Structure 1
């Protein structure tokens, strides 16, 4: 094994310990772990102590070790995102009218959107989307749609955590540059129900986005429809926004979201 691959031996040993604990029928003692993995006892005692402290392992009444609850939190997060992607693709199957668009699914992480899924159209966009790609949220339709889904307090907190002085340089001349512009944009998105990227990510590329909610009403993702500016004249802009909104609503329903019905007076 090369030196670069073995630069974090403690982490590799910790993963081996987790694998062993998972595969063992009875919670192994530290001595059992050391013997089976052929590791020094002092090394194992030090590692499992830290892993217990971090919640990766739990010590049983018999002084053995089992997997800790923190791993369940991580597993839940992975499962939730996999479910989101699966539901996204299944929802798309019932939207045959979206075949002409590149359709994307993103999640918000701090100041960026992360692309979780993408179905490309045959139309040449001039830019490409791929799973795992990250872009500044304030320049994207899905990012601004997700920001608009925040309540006022959450949005103010986001602005406090990420002041304009930390924002990246615009990618095109149309990119948002100030808090005033962003606040106005968020207000417009809330009023019309969808967000628009009017060539903020790439010259000649437009995107229409809407936010997705889960069963609890929490904003969890954004969906976007992208098309080249040359194709924009074939559609009414509000129609494209409504199509993005309809997809977001359908995906939200699949995730269990049910909007609260206003009581009649």
Structure 2
């Protein structure tokens, strides 16, 4: 079998350079990099110049290269997501009253929510959740909870970036179809303190969602508590919403957030 053609050799070379710089005892010179990686000097000089320009590498006083500060931004983003998932699961361990529910953690990415953590219940929901799954934010409880956590200016900016003409078709007959309906839904979420997916993602599936904030008060995620519509009559709806809020607050607290009594949902903005 022939070897696949490498369509992005420059990217592979850049990664090799970063690995070498990281492992070097002292900042290597361009000549050192060319020799150790067995690359043409002209290629290495061009690559290093671009990597310095992009902040991936920095030059020191002796013309050696060290890792750039831009990499710290990337590391921080990855660490933040890993910490968020860890804190979610640790907080969830303290909520035995959620053992019979499917509980999820999502991030808002543009028009979608992406599922980054999930604990499925033994109850058949009619829909399965998995890490990495994406759904339109406007149909999900976690997505609408995160939209409701935005201030009015940020929410209007989100609507401008994602006009109704770009929205996907509803997944069920209950799905939100207009800006007017979404704005009304956001107002109701802010008033009661939690979001409700009343069979918008899947027929027969309900979900209650609330937003998670980090130490700075920035909304970073949403938690969802899901159950079959057939089990809904066993609970008070407000109580289920309260369970989602309590979990979201617990995760927020673990992330260092301390101002939930003054600027959380529920008309307290």
Q: Normalised by the size of structure 2, how large is the TM-score? A: 0.95
The residue matched to 1:132 in structure 2 has which SS? coil
CA distance in 2, matches of 1:53, 1:260: 42
CA distance in 2, matches of 1:90, 1:2: 45
Residue 211 (structure 1) shift: 0.3
In the alignment, what sits opposite 1:2?
Answer: 3
Tell me, which stretches of 5 or more residues in structure 2 are unaligned?
A: 263-269
Residue 234 (structure 1) shift: 1.0
In the alignment, what sits opposite 1:149?
Answer: 149
Within the alignment, does 1:55 sit opposite 2:62 as a pair?
Answer: no
CA distance in 1, matches of 2:81, 2:261: 28
In the alignment, what sits opposite 1:171?
Answer: 171
Return closer, same or farther for 1:260/1:189 CA change in 2, 3 Å cut-off. closer
The residue matched to 2:81 in structure 1 has which SS? helix
**Over aligned residue pairs, what C-alpha RMSD do you find?**
1.1
Stretches (4+) displaced over 3 A: none
**For 1:157-215, what per-residue CA distance to the aligned partner results, in whole angstroms no more than 9, with x for missing partners?**
11111111111111111111100000000000000000001111111111100000111
CA distance in 1, matches of 2:126, 2:38: 55
CA distance in 2, matches of 1:2, 1:69: 36
**For 1:28-48, what per-residue CA distance to the aligned partner results, in whole angstroms no more than 9, with x for missing partners?**
011100100111111111111
Within the alignment, does 1:227 sit opposite 2:195 as a pair?
Answer: no
Tell me, which stretches of 5 or more residues in structure 1 are unaligned?
A: none
Within the alignment, does 1:198 sit opposite 2:169 as a pair?
Answer: no
Structure 1 residues 127-146: aligned runs within 5 Å: 127-146=127-146
**For 1:84-125, what per-residue CA distance to the aligned partner results, in whole angstroms no more than 9, with x for missing partners?**
000000001100010010000001111111111001110111
Residue 230 (structure 1) shift: 1.1
The residue matched to 1:43 in structure 2 has which SS? helix
**For 1:13-68, what per-residue CA distance to the aligned partner results, in whole angstroms no more than 9, with x for missing partners?**
10000000000011101110010011111111111111111111111111111001
Query: How many positions carry a matched residue from both structures?
Result: 261
Residue 233 (structure 1) shift: 1.2
The residue matched to 2:61 in structure 1 has which SS? coil
CA distance in 2, matches of 1:59, 1:70: 14
CA distance in 1, matches of 2:63, 2:44: 14
CA distance in 2, matches of 1:21, 1:2: 28
In the alignment, what sits opposite 2:119?
Answer: 119
CA distance in 2, matches of 1:11, 1:233: 56
